[in-house]
A = this chain, B = another copy of it.
Amino acid sequence: MARPATNSRQRFLEATQTLLRQGGLSAAAVNDVVSASQAPKGSFYHYFPAGKTQLVAEALLLYRDVVADYLNEELGSSAHLNARIENLFKRVAARMAVSDFRESCAVGAVVLDLSSQDEELRGLCNNILESWVESAATLLHELSPAARKPAATHLVQLLEGAQLTARACGNARPLKQAAAAFSIYLASFTEMSA
């Protein structure tokens, strides 16, 4: 199969993101990443001299930016708040549908694989989840300043929980249900401030 001319480093990172989304840390063994990337194995330790932890950390940082773009594009649009929430969950559903609901949030899958030896990655995952909360809080601008961070925290938890249950049932319904529930939650704040 012809591939676009990306360099090996990029291929390793893309393959890692996909494997993390499928099965977390345990799915992203270096040999599996090399095999999935179709990049020359000899170059792996040139790009990632510190091995798997470095590879996973860099892939998670790229994944952080993908999700931040989704948040900015969907929650940052000019649509009504409820429509923006619905569009965000629809976007996540569309991405999951590409893999027939077999790939979900890379950070979520890594978090549920962490052992006590993975403190560095645990801290990184926590920072990424918090960065999404910060991004979302800014974009929920209709809410009072005090309500934005709790609402964004709720949104990020719900995105994780809904992706997990969507993988269990293999369809987008949990993401629709989560969007509807979050809009009901939000209504209490927007009514208060109205």
How far is A187 from B180 in the complex, measured between Cα atoms in Å?
15
B-facing mask of A142-163, CB < 8 A → 1, else 0?
0000000010011011111110
CA distance A116 to B167 in the complex (A): 11
Distance from A163 Cβ to chain B, minimum over Cβ atoms (Å): 9
Report the bound CA distance from A26 to B188 in whole Å: 42
Interface presence of A102 (CB below 8 A): yes
Q: How many residues of A contact B (CB 8 A)?
A: 45
A57 within 8 A of B: no
Known A112-B167, A157-B164, A160-B161; 18 more pairs at CB < 8 Å: A22-B115, A23-B26, A24-B26, A26-B113, A102-B116, A108-B112, A111-B164, A111-B168, A112-B113, A122-B167, A122-B170, A154-B181, A156-B161, A157-B181, A161-B162, A181-B185, A184-B185, A187-B188
What 10 pairs across the A-B complex have the smallest Cβ distances?
A161-B161, A26-B26, A157-B161, A154-B181, A160-B161, A126-B168, A109-B112, A185-B185, A125-B168, A126-B169
